[in-house]
């Protein structure tokens, strides 16, 4: 007889490791019903996620490779809150402290037109110009990473052209832009695809993407 747990799979081998995987599957499935993350799911349908790169990025939480450290815990906590839309914005504070905050929606103090929630962070209408300036700087940085690689193509013209055509580096007008995924800790397939057009070494492509994503958050 094979023992099953909640129809998720057979109980065998190391129970502790198996239960960890089962819990991860349960938590991932529960996110499908998390209202604040519905926008992420809608964007993912248009801009597929590279889960391999995303997984590597989520595990890269410090530079000393220590599995247990204050910096590791702090960075991991921040990434989880970004992905799960749990940073302490006005809506979260209202939910957690209903007696301290008014019941009506709290608007952003910068634009005074949109609710100050996790989806608004980085995409405030009052700061879109700065965001687009930063995105152009990031595009130039990615170009430099590709063209300075030992596996770089002989001409930079094609590199510049492909990055300028990429939706990742198109002007941002609202939260439907694919950079929303990057901001919330997900790496769109388009990013490694653009790099691999010019860098045919998979190892070099991985390294460039890792460096760029790290730069994107600093």
Q: Select the more confidently predicted residue: 117 or 11.
A: 117
Sequence-distant (6+) residues with CB within 8 A of 188 are: 47, 48, 49, 50, 168, 178, 181, 182
Domain ranges of the chain: 1-33, 37-86+126-216
Mean pLDDT across the chain, nearest whole number? 85
Mean pLDDT of 73-85: 87
Residue 13 has pLDDT above 60, yes or no: no
pLDDT value at residue 25: 61
Q: How far apart are CA 145 and CA 194, in angstroms?
A: 12
Q: Return the residue matching tokens 């410090």.
A: 62
Question: What is the pTM assigned to this prediction?
Answer: 0.81
pLDDT value at residue 55: 84
The size of the chain, in residues, is 218
Q: How far apart are CA 171 and CA 47, in angstroms?
A: 16
Q: How far apart are CA 19 and CA 149, in angstroms?
A: 42
Q: Tens digits of per-residue pLDDT, 130-167?
A: 999 999 999 999 999 999 999 888 888 999 999 999 99
Closest residue by Cα to residue 141 from 211, 193, 85: 211
Q: Tens digits of per-residue pLDDT, 174-203?
A: 999 999 999 999 999 999 999 999 999 999
Mean pLDDT of 6-35: 60
């Amino acid at each position: 007889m094979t023992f099953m747990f909640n129809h998720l799979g057979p109980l065998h081998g190391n129970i502790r490791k198996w239960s960890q995987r089962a819990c991860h599957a349960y938590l991932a499935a529960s996110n499908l019903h998390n209202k604040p993350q519905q926008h992420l799911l809608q964007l993912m349908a248009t801009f597929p996620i590279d889960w391999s790169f995303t997984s590597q990025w989520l595990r890269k939480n410090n530079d000393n490779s220590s599995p247990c450290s204050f910096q590791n815990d702090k960075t991991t906590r921040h990434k989880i809150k970004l992905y799960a839309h749990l940073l302490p914005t006005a809506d979260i504070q209202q939910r957690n402290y209903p007696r301290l905050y008014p019941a009506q929606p709290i608007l952003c103090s910068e634009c005074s037109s949109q609710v100050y929630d996790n989806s608004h962070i980085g995409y405030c209408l009052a700061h879109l110009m700065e965001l687009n300036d930063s995105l152009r700087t990031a595009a130039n940085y990615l170009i430099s990473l590709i063209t300075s690689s030992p596996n770089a193509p002989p001409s930079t013209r094609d590199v510049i052209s492909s990055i300028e055509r990429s939706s990742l580096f198109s002007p941002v007008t609202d939260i439907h832009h694919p950079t929303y995924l990057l901001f919330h800790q997900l790496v769109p397939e388009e990013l490694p695809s653009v790099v691999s057009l010019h860098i045919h070494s998979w190892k070099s492509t991985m390294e460039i993407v890792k460096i760029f994503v790290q730069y994107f958050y600093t």
